Structure 1
């Protein structure tokens, strides 16, 4: 392997100082156009590559932004990343995407590596919960902007972008009540993750508003998978008085429930109404099509990027919280449309 060219090689070739080469490569106004062009031509001839990390350390700007998500292959996160890139790429920023697989130690290492790489900011949908949030706190003591989106933790000086999960849970449950359902079950995922606890609170408050007794037998905590949804639906329908509707905090869990109900000849929505959360693409193509709360992932990504841009343009904003809450929108389809 041939030795990499350095600024000293360029300087030797042109019989100028390394400092002059460095200034020319970094567009220093003190360097003439003629010298700059000579340096650039020689750099290309020698196949010189600038050390981007060194440039970032010197200039304080890398034009790179880290995006950290639990899983890249989930439609929601892929759509958020699309929104982030659509907002940042035209501004000259490159996005570095990492996934944590819901592993806390992995997330800490990823964030630390991004900090070491001198990225200009990090946008995170965290795998940490309110139970272990302090483990992340030390890593987040920083100067570059951090923005949490979707799955957030509350820290002083760190901004968040979420949707109104509480209102989404409330609207989904009230819709089922308006359609005549009264025994409404709920699939929860993890009460220590704020977005799921807010959806659950919305569900409970809708029951209270309409004078419907809360029944803990109808609450099942599941993993965010189809198989978990199947098992939960089986458990619910074996109760002495089974529910006549299900509101799930996750479309994936609801998909499993729908498959189980259909396998046991329950009619949807006549026997059991169902509403999910996320508006995954498959919800509109199932038969019956599935009602779900839309999370506006592309808009969320764009907003997270805008908060980042605002913070790098206004250094004072980096130390203050910007908490953006986007509206949740219930998409009503056949699976919950009982009233004609």
Structure 2
């Protein structure tokens, strides 16, 4: 029976545990056994106990919120990552604030102010393009230890990160095309200075070298993960004298733009040119032809990032790396090749 003004001691009595255990269930439920968690939350429901969030924030000196920086909220790639972050932090009664880094109001000192004004406890960053000046500002204001990167990262930095195995993904893509008989394989990259671009290009080059595939400079085409860059790449391929028989795209969005434009020029996919993407966003399965691609477990990226954030920052115990501490190794999440209809055996000319 619910009580009018239930207290934490009432919950503890109903669950048959200590008040400390009730507090732990609310702040760090993963530290308790499933049986104890169920007992506590059943008691909370039965007694009608409500957490005084304002008092808790004053007591713990935590805002109870995390800022997530996203490089482009219009890109459907980020939806599952955000879902994983939101679900995991929600279980810990932590709110999620989202900011698009394409809005320059989220850069520089403005981000530091979120920390200094006690609006957030930390930040999960999906954008690896933060400037060195911004990183220096985090360090100068003592908040760098409250930042975790997911998906992308800052090369050479000490920030903890969660990322997919981008190099292996590129190798899987090129290897699959090779197994289908393709030897003339082009690659449409991501943005020039992006860490994902470099990792996927590295994997592509490594696999191409391992297989002894021919290399032409024009077969590596600069893109930017967008539909438009896929369209631009298709125009270049259409006018090539020595045209590739297959294309590995650095993202599914690029692949969609590429396929639609090749089709508009009378080239069939996969009849004339095979195409592989990277990401496995929701549309990939329903595109025509259904896209063969490299699947990133995007929800796991978000979940792992939120868990890593809680481990390092959630308790308020992490202020930053000391001079004798080593930078944490990145958490690498495996990728898979998803075979659909956009890649087929190379056509043999008679």
- TM (normalized to structure 2)? 0.75
* Counterpart for residue 12 of structure 1: none
Counterpart of 2:114 in structure 1 is 114
Alignment of structure 1 residues 264-279 onto 2, 5 Å:
264-279=265-280
8 Å contact kept, 1:279–1:292: yes
Q: Which residue of 2 aligns with 1:295?
A: 296
Root-mean-square deviation (Å): 2.7
Q: Is 2:322 the counterpart of 1:321?
A: no
CA contact (8 A) 2:64 2:95 kept: yes
Once the two structures are TM-superposed, the CA of residue 160 in structure 1 deviates from its matched residue by 0.5
The 1:112–1:212 alpha-carbon spacing in structure 2 relative to 1, beyond 3 Å, is same
SS at match of 2:108: helix
Give distance in 1, aligned partners of 2:146 and 2:261.
45
Indicate how the Cα distance of structure 1 residues 316 and 230 shifts in structure 2: closer, same or farther if over 3 A, else same.
closer
Give, in whole Å, the separation in 2 of the partners of 1:275 and 1:255: 10
C-alpha spacing 1:233/1:64, structure 2 compared with 1 (3 Å): same
For residue 142 of structure 1, report the CA deviation from its aligned partner: 1.5
The residue number in structure 1 matching 2:341 is: 334
Contact 1:310-1:317 at 8 Å conserved across structures: no
Which residue of structure 1 lines up, in the alignment, with residue 47 of structure 2? none
Aligned to 1:310: 311
Contact kept? 1:76, 1:280, Cα under 8 Å: yes
**Aligned positions of 1:105-144 closer than 5 A:** 106-118=106-118, 119-126=120-127, 128=129, 132-140=131-139, 141-142=142-143
- Equivalent position SS for 1:101: coil
The alpha-carbon deviation at position 315 of structure 1 amounts to: 2.3
- Unpaired segments of 5 or more residues in structure 1? 1-26, 30-49
Equivalent position of 1:34 in the other structure: none
Give CA-to-partner distance per residue, 1:215-262, whole Å, 9 cap, x none: 111011123322221121111221111111110102111111101111
CA distances 1:119-153 after superposition (whole Å, capped 9, x unpaired)? 12210012526xx4344332244165210111211
Distance 2:215 2:287 in 1: 30
Alignment of 1:1-340 (within 5 A): 56=57, 59-101=60-102, 103=104, 106-118=106-118, 119-126=120-127, 128=129, 132-140=131-139, 141-142=142-143, 145-154=146-155, 157-311=158-312, 312-313=314-315, 315=317, 319=321, 321-338=328-345
SS in 1 for 2:311: helix
**What is the number of residues matched between the two proteins?**
290
Aligned 8 A contact 1:307 1:322 in 2: no
Q: 1:168 touches 1:199 (CA, 8 Å); kept in 2?
A: yes
1:56-100 CA deviation, whole Å, 9 max, x = no partner? 576421111111111223222121111011111111111111111
Q: TM-score, normalised by structure 1?
A: 0.77
Deviations 1:93-122 (A, max 9, x none): 11111111175x633245223213421221
Mark the CA change 1:322 to 1:158 in structure 2 (over 3 Å): closer, same or farther. same
Q: Counterpart of 2:275 in 1: which secondary structure?
A: strand
After superposition, the Cα gap between the structure-2 partners of 1:174 and 1:338, relative to the gap in structure 1 and judged at 3 Å, is same
Quick check: 54-63 or 272-281, which moved more? Answer: 54-63
Q: Secondary structure at the match of 1:337?
A: coil
CA distance in 2, matches of 1:332, 1:144: 41
Q: Secondary structure of 2:138's match?
A: coil
Deviations 1:289-329 (A, max 9, x none): 11111121111000000001111348259535251010111
In 2: Cα distance, 1:283 partner to 1:273 partner: 15
Q: 1:198 to 1:154 in 2, by over 3 A?
A: closer
More off after superposition, 155-164 vs 269-278:
155-164
